[in-house]
A and B are shown apart, each in its own frame.
Chain A
């Protein structure tokens, strides 16, 4: 036990003391808010400095009226098409919208001319304005009073309340839950890959530099392997802790500096926008209510558990692979069975878990140990029955014990083998060998 502790210390200190660790740990949280800050700053600046874009509208029906927005103003005229086109060409107008005589039941031939490619926003804005106008006109034509029409329009916002087993209620919000699942899942995925690789590199270093022969004459291979895995886990946790503290401090500073509301929320919205989801229009207060509704003890507890559990499960496999090969380039052939479940979990997170956390596929992804660390984190903020959580955690512990046992068997033989490129068959032989 004492010797494992020595190995843990060495693995931990030799990494934490490195300049590259310090650099990566300090720069990463600086870079993210910096990029975020720059984006926000540019966006704000752009909005402020942008000159109004004027769009010429030639409506041969004399029917349409387009409401101007912050960015676009519409000028109505009965200029000819040629004249309007010329206005665009000489730069007097940003664009030109031609609405020829149309049949309201089948509007055809509405065309936009512009010097530059119009962006999606503009086109959809034009389309929705025109559609609304045509719909209104048709409703009016069929005899409905516009007064009544505008009274009928209602704005709806559904508040979701999650009931727990004791009958308590909490405000939940799919968007916030999505963001939490998304961030936690990605963080675990990245952590497993980055630190799993560090384990593998470390094992290969000891093997190829032949230090291992000296080490195993002083302690058991299994102690050496576990010491390395645990030591590197410590490095990861340290990094995570520093990040949380740094990001917390920095976002507060950045928020204060820009005088804007919670960049975290912006970040979530950005993430959402990336995923093709609608940007939430929730107010700060609402979001805060939702965040307060989250069971942070369970969330943080589960995160730390799956963070470590997933890492240990895969870390052992990475150690096993490292022990079997002589150089990192030889490791490729064995990486596939480790990479595939990770990628399945990662894809599953987006395709199934975050879309429908309670579907059968999501359930199984969050139960099977190879995918559960990532998938369960996608589900947890939506609320998961305790038996499912315990089953998943229990299986993860078993899974971790199994991969460690398997890796240990490969490791104790692999680290002493040089000059042979093992196949899966040889690995299987090593696993079966008793001593």
Chain B
């Protein structure tokens, strides 16, 4: 769907993107992660053709990114707003037409969406009279009215209460079912784990990892196992810092070059193995670890 090769962008002396490659398959929810100022917004703006890259190539469905693609992309920026004095209906119509839809089609789709979201009574209201959550919903619908093949959402859940966030989450999943490719840029790792099929992480203008969530997690697993033993044959080494709880001994062990099976075999001789489970890192752990590590490397190279 979206193919990005060797993308570079600098602002004066600041590098915003350095040789970024990205491959987003069709119909996935793709998490774009990274701390503030990493270059995510720049990347998103370049895909939206708001700014131009210095070098590199972007292709959508095998075709070089061009103004024609605007009607196939939907974009919900992190910093977003609506015309305060405009009515909900007029505003949606304006945004839809700017994306290249005909007036008649825009109208019928707006009606359908307002009905679906239980918002028909807001049609003639001005945006300034809406609550923040309502305005966010209007904004979300405006973003997807033209049924984009590629939907770019920058922090879509910020400003939503949990109930509305859930509604939006369901809508995103529904769009995915219909074949929409979604790029989700966020800091909220719990929504990444919940929604995303694939992720890429950008830090200090460079892509530092990408892949499916499972791949990323497994390649960043720390090779540590959580173990619980009963009926000990002998006292455990004190270095393992085992904690006893009613005859059960809990501790964590690193593989140290052994295979999990070898480690398990050793443990079986020490007692009854009640639990032997690999520690799987959360995306949050990986995110923090990666960002800190890179910062450390950059400071010490």
Using CB atoms and an 8 Å cutoff, list the residues of chain A in contact with chain B: 3, 6, 10, 14, 18, 205, 209-211, 213-219, 416, 418, 429, 435
Contacts and interface: CB of A to CB of B under 8 A. Distances in A.
Given A209-B82, A213-B79, A217-B75, A10 B48 contact: no
B75 A214 contact: yes
B48 A217 contact: yes
Interface string B128-142: 000000000000001
Nearest to A213: B77
A3 B98 contact: yes
A210 B49 contact: no
Nearest to A10: B94
Contact of A217 (B73, B79, B81, B97): B73
Interface residues of B, number: 26
B85 interface: yes
Contact of A209 (B12, B75, B84): B84
Given A210-B79, A213-B77, A218 B84 contact: no
21 contacts: A10-B94, A14-B85, A209-B83, A209-B84, A210-B79, A211-B80, A213-B50, A213-B77, A213-B80, A214-B77, A214-B81, A214-B142, A214-B143, A217-B48, A217-B73, A217-B77, A218-B95, A219-B98, A416-B50, A418-B79, A435-B52
A216 B95 CA distance: 11
Contacts of A213: 50, 75, 77, 79-80
Nearest to A208: B81
Contact of B83 (A211, A216, A429): A211
Interface in B262-293: none
A298 B66 CA distance: 46
Nearest to A7: B98
A426 to B, nearest CB: 10
B51 interface: yes
User: Per DSSP, are chain B's interface residues mostly helix, strand or loop, or mixed?
Assistant: loop
B80 A215 contact: no
Interface string B47-87: 01111100000000000000000100101010111111110
Nearest to B139: A214
Given A6-B94, A10-B94, A210-B80, A217 B50 contact: yes
Contacts of A205: 83
Nearest to A224: B98
B73 A214 contact: no
B99 interface: yes
Contacts of B49: 217
Interface of B: 12, 45, 48-52, 70, 73, 75, 77, 79-86, 94-95, 97-99, 142-143
A205 B80 CA distance: 13
A215 B82 CA distance: 10
B81 A210 contact: yes
B85 A218 contact: no
A416 B73 CA distance: 19
Given A6-B94, A14-B86, A214-B95, 18 more contacts: A14-B85, A18-B85, A210-B77, A210-B79, A210-B80, A211-B83, A213-B77, A213-B79, A213-B80, A214-B75, A214-B80, A214-B143, A215-B98, A217-B77, A218-B99, A219-B70, A418-B79, A435-B52
Contacts of A6: 94, 97-98
Contacts of B95: 214, 218
A328 to B, nearest CB: 15
Given A14-B83, A211-B83, A418-B79, A216 B98 contact: no
Nearest to A9: B94
A435 B49 CA distance: 11
Contacts of B75: 213-214, 217
B77 A218 contact: no
A329 B143 CA distance: 32
Contacts of B99: 218
A58 to B, nearest CB: 73
Contacts of A209: 81-84
Contacts of B51: 416, 435
Given A6-B97, A6-B98, A14-B85, A218 B70 contact: yes
A10 B86 CA distance: 10
Nearest to A6: B97
B20 to A, nearest CB: 18
A125 to B, nearest CB: 59
Contacts of B50: 213, 216-217, 416
Nearest to B127: A209
A4 to B, nearest CB: 11
A418 B86 CA distance: 24
Contacts of A14: 83, 85-86
Contacts of A3: 98
Contacts of A217: 48-50, 70, 73, 75, 77
